[in-house]
Amino acid sequence: MKQIVWVLCVLMAGSLLAIPVGAGPATGGAVVYPIVADPTFNPWHPRAFVESVFPNRVIYNGLTKPGKNLQPAPDLAERWEVSADGLTWTFFLRRNVRWHDGREFTADDVKFTYDIVLNPQLGAGGAANFRSVKEVQVVDRFTVRFVLATPTASLAAFAGTNAGIIPKHAFEGVADPWTHDTFNKRNPVGTGAYRVREYVPGSHVTLARNDNYFLGRPSMDTVTFKVLPDPNTQIAQLISGELTLIMVDNPASVRAIQGRADVEISTIPQTNFYWLAANYRMPTFRDKRVRQAMLYALDRRAMINGFLQGFAREATGIISPALSFYYKSDVKTYEFDRQRARQLLAAAGWRPGADGVLTKDGQRLSFALTFPRVQYFEQLAALVQQYYRAIGIEVTLDGLEFNQFVSQRLLPRRFEVMAGWWITPGDPDFYNYIHSSAAERGFNIPMYANPEMDRVLEQGRAFSDAAQRARVYRQFQDLVAEELPYIYLWWPFEIRAINRRLGGVPRLGLRDAFQYTNEWMIR
C-alpha cells in the first residue's frame, strides 16, 4: 500500500501593475539585483557558486520549490507519491511546460538531469543530497520514478533547492556537460519565468519575461543581475536607484540606508548557521572537551551585539528556529565562560607552556583559522583569535578570496579549523552535513565521525511521518549540543533592502524568493 502525498498547485492568475500610485493596473518594469561575479548558467556545475544561485533560480525550475511555509511545494512536478517503505518516489509532471526554445518538457529531461547528478565521475554540485538515489526511471512521458537505496524523507525538499532541471536536447552530442560553454556560460535554456536576453561578462546578465511561462505571464519586463562585488557600491547604487533590491551582508551597512522613504529594510529568519569546523582528523579535536572549550571561550553575544549589530540569534544548535516544528530549545548551552573553557582544557591534559600557550605531550595548542574574505569574516576571525589567545590557544589567520577558499581549502579539506556558514534546505535532515559517509564527498566539512550520530541521522531519514521525525530530530539536537560536530556560532537574520516600488516578494530568504519572480511586480 502506498502513502500518497498530494500537493495542490496554486496557479498564478494574470499579472498586474508597474506604474505610479493612483493609476490603474498595468504590467512592465525592471528589477536589478547585484551578484559578486560572472555566473555559470547550470545549477549543477561544480563551479556554480553563490554568484550563480540567483539567476539559476529564475532561469530553471526544479521538481519542487521551497513553499512559502518552508514545506516543499509543486514546481515542475504537480504532485508526488511515496511508497510505504520510503524507497520509491513517483513524481507526476506538468503537461503544459515548454523550454525557452519552445521544445516540450518531459520526463526524459528529468532523467537526463539526474543521470548527471548521480554520476560520481562528474562531481555535480549538490550531488551529495541525492546519494541515496540509485536510479531515476521514466515511467511515461510525464511520470518519473526515483528508486532509493535507503529511505530519504527529505527528498522533496532537496529536489527544490538549487536543483533545476536542464534540457536533454540542449546537450545532445556533449560528452562532458561541464565543457558545454555555449549553454553553461552564454545561452542557457530553462523553463523559468525569465530567459536570458543579454549577457555581458564582467557587467550584467539581463533576463527577459517568458510569455509562455506555465504559471502565467509574469508581470515585469526584465530581471537584471549586475556584477557588483563591492558591498559599499551595492549600498550606493540601491540609494541612487540603480539597484532595486540587495541582501545586506554586513549589518553595519544598514545605518547607511535606514530611514529612507523609498527603501524598506526587513529581516527574515533563515535555515542558516555560522560555524567553526575543527578538523576531526586531527587528534587534538577528537576530544569533545576541546571543542566544548572552544565554544565556551567565545563571547558570541558580544559579537552579535557588536559587528553584527544585533542581526543574529545566538545558536544553541544547527537546526534553526525557523523550522519551528522540529526546533528544540531546551538543550545544553554554552554561555561565554573562560574559566569553564580552561577547566575543560586542563581536564583534557593541556597545560600552559612558558609563553602561556597550552601544551600537551610536547605539542602546542596552535592552529590556523581558515576563512573566506567575504562579509564580516575578517572581523570574526580577528575576534576568535583574541578570544582563544585569552585561554592559551594560539591562532594564526588564513584568509583567502572566496573561490580560492573553496578550491584550495574547503573542497580538498585542507585546513585545521575553518570558519564558514551553511544555508540549508527547509528540512531538519543534516545527514549530508554530519554523517560520516559525507566526510569526503558531502558537506561534512569537519569530517566528523560518530556511530551514534550516524544512527540517529539514518533514523531521521527513515520516517515520513512528521511527528516521528520530530522525535528523532529532538534527540539529534541533544546529541549535537553535547558533541559539537560543528562549533556553531549564530543563526543570522537575512537583511534585505528593497525599493518600495517592488511588490510581491514573498517573506522567504531571497534565494527562495527569486523562485517566485513570476509574482513580483513594479508598482
CATH number for the domain including 488?
A: 3.10.105.10
Q: Is residue 196 part of a domain?
A: yes
Q: Which residue has 557587467 as its cell numbers? A: 203
Q: Is residue 402 part of a domain?
A: yes
Same domain, residue pair 114 and 209: yes
- The whole-angstrom separation of Cα 466 and Cα 329 is 18
- The whole-angstrom separation of Cα 250 and Cα 496 is 11
For residue 14, what pLDDT band results from cuts at 50, 70 and 90?
very low
**321 CB-side CA count, 13 A:** 13
Q: Is residue 258 part of a domain?
A: no
- Is 0.85 topped by the overall pTM? yes
Same domain, residue pair 43 and 81: yes
Where in the sequence is the domain holding 362, given as residue range(s)? Answer: 272-493
Same domain, residue pair 14 and 149: yes
Same domain, residue pair 237 and 302: no
Q: Is residue 260 part of a domain?
A: no
Write the CB contacts of 428 (distance below 8 Å, at least 6 apart in sequence): 319, 323, 326, 460, 469, 473, 476
- The set of cell numbers assigned to 144 is 518519473
Same domain, residue pair 506 and 484: no
Q: Is residue 264 part of a domain?
A: no
Which CA distances in Å does 323 have to 63, 137, 331? 22, 32, 16
User: pLDDT tens digit string along 231-266?
Assistant: 999 999 999 999 999 999 889 899 999 999 999 999
Same domain, residue pair 424 and 513: no
Give the CA radius of gyration of the chain. Answer: 24
Residue 19: per-residue pLDDT: 29
Residue 238 one-letter amino acid: L
The percentage of the chain sitting over the pLDDT mark of 90, rounded to a whole number, equals: 89
8 A C-beta contact, residue 77 and residue 91: yes
Residue 31: per-residue pLDDT: 98
Q: What is the DSSP string of 132-159?
A: TEEEEEEEETTEEEEEESS--TTHHHHT
Q: Is residue 408 part of a domain?
A: yes
User: pLDDT tens digit string along 169-221?
Assistant: 999 999 999 999 999 999 999 999 999 999 999 999 999 999 999 999 999 99
Weakest-pLDDT range from 21-30, 336-345, 389-398: 21-30
Same domain, residue pair 39 and 92: yes
Same domain, residue pair 221 and 341: no
Q: Is residue 266 part of a domain?
A: no
Q: Is residue 259 part of a domain?
A: no
Strand pairing class (77-83; 88-93): antiparallel
Q: Which residue has 504590467 as its cell numbers? A: 27
8 A C-beta contact, residue 300 and residue 352: no
Same domain, residue pair 228 and 176: yes
For residue 13, what pLDDT band results from cuts at 50, 70 and 90?
very low
Write the CB contacts of 255 (distance below 8 Å, at least 6 apart in sequence): none
Same domain, residue pair 298 and 201: no
SS3 248: coil
> Considering only CA atoms, which of 165, 199, 180 is closest in space to residue 59?
165
- The whole-angstrom separation of Cα 515 and Cα 489 is 29
Strand partners, 104: 98
SS3 356: coil
**200 CB-side CA count, 13 A:** 7
Same domain, residue pair 225 and 317: no
Same domain, residue pair 181 and 313: no
Handedness of CA 281, 285, 286, 292 (dihedral sign): negative
> What's the structural domain count of the chain?
2
CATH of the domain at 218: 3.40.190.10
Residue 265: per-residue pLDDT: 96
